[in-house]
Amino acid sequence: MQYAVQFLIALMLLAFSTFIAWYEGSAIRDVPWEWKHTAFFSNVLNGQVTNNSDISQLDYFIYAAKFHPVYPILILFSLSYIVTLSGYLLLKNYIKRLTVFLSVISMIYVLLGLTIYSSPIVGGKYLTFVFLFIGLVNLSLAILFFLRVRKGIKKKGNFIFFT
């Protein structure tokens, strides 16, 4: 039951922040000079964007992440919490696999953070910090589980998530 509540809260936050980020990102339709730099998915799918109706809905999120990063950051936090909690629930009886899972997730987030590290836009700087932070949190969890295995602690219990 406690995990169902956590999933429900994370899903509600994900849905709310996705809707708001999508709304904020729709402002790209009114900023034609940003289409060349921000409408990545539209350029891949449709070629060059010449009209605001050519813009893909996915580009709304890129625009929101660049210029209004609060809700895209909430999307990242809620989505990463859902992934981490799911991994924990699926692998809690297999601590070594859970450690590997958390380490891989950590590397992915750190690589994403390093990929956009040199972004001159404010949203890119915030997202870099968030990616690195989430990567470090997952790495810390992986280290905790690794130390748990190394010490030979076989006690079952839920000490990571709020139970």
Q: What is the full per-residue pLDDT of the chain (163 aa) written as tens digits?
A: 889 999 999 999 999 999 999 999 999 988 888 888 888 888 888 788 878 888 888 889 989 999 999 999 999 999 999 999 999 999 988 988 999 999 999 999 999 999 988 888 888 899 999 999 999 999 999 999 888 877 765 555 555 444 3
| Cβ proximity of 123 and 66 under 8 Å | yes
- CB count, 10 Å around CB of 38? 24
